[in-house]
């Protein structure tokens, strides 16, 4: 079991047969049950929800919140910083580590996918898969309906526009949009909203 997870964390290709151990199956089932329980808690039970996320995830920072429904594969590979807001329908396939910094906002219907499958159909039929980590820096904003693919790093303070598919890393303090997502321009003081 640990050997398979170590291989996934190292970015090595693993066959589905090797990963289909009773231990991994049990971990996936426990995580699915935990997500089900969280998703069926009333939103007003904030402290109970918070404790459930602290138990499920590798780290769940202070004053962080994730709105239901939420789904992940393992949970323990996810580390979330302080003051995080994850809107509804957040899905994290965490076969590799997912690290989310402080003061990050993720909009509704977003997916963070660390796992990939073989392109050749015979290898895909064999279940060959590999995983690469995802990292989101402090103060980043991921707008609605964004998909972040394996190995991507979102820089500190970056903004990813709605509907983007992020296939490559985005530098800090950049506005990036599109499919595939590309940096459009730096975020500057000219973007500051003046409230008078």
Residues annotated as part of the active site:
117
- Write 10-13 long-range contacts (CB < 8 A, 24+): 11/96, 11/130, 11/131, 11/132, 12/130, 13/118, 13/128, 13/129, 13/130
Around Cβ 92, how many Cβ atoms within 10 Å? Answer: 26
Greatest alpha-carbon pair distance for the chain in Å reads: 62
Distances from the Cα of 34 to the Cαs of 40, 65, 69, in angstroms? 10, 16, 12
Burial class (CB in 10 A: 0-12, 13-18, 19+), 110: buried
């Amino acid at each position: 079991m640990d050997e398979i997870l170590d291989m996934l964390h190292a970015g090595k290709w693993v066959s589905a047969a090797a990963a289909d151990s009773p231990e991994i199956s049990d971990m996936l089932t426990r995580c699915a049950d935990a997500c089900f329980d969280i998703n069926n808690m009333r939103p007003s039970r904030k402290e109970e929800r918070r404790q459930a996320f602290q138990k499920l995830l590798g780290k769940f920072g202070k004053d962080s919140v994730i709105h239901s429904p939420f789904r992940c594969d393992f949970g323990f590979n996810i580390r979330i910083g302080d003051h995080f807001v994850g809107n509804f329908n957040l899905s994290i396939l965490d076969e590799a580590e997912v690290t989310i910094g402080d003061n990050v906002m993720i909009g509704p219907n977003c997916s963070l996918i660390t796992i990939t499958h073989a392109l050749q159909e015979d290898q895909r039929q064999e279940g060959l898969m590999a995983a690469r980590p995802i990292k989101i820096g402090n103060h980043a904003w991921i707008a609605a309906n964004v998909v972040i693919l394996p190995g991507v790093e979102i820089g500190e303070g970056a903004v990813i526009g709605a509907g983007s598919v992020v296939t490559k890393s985005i530098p800090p303090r950049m506005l990036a949009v599109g499919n595939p997502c590309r940096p459009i321009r730096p975020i500057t003081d000219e973007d500051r909203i003046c409230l008078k």
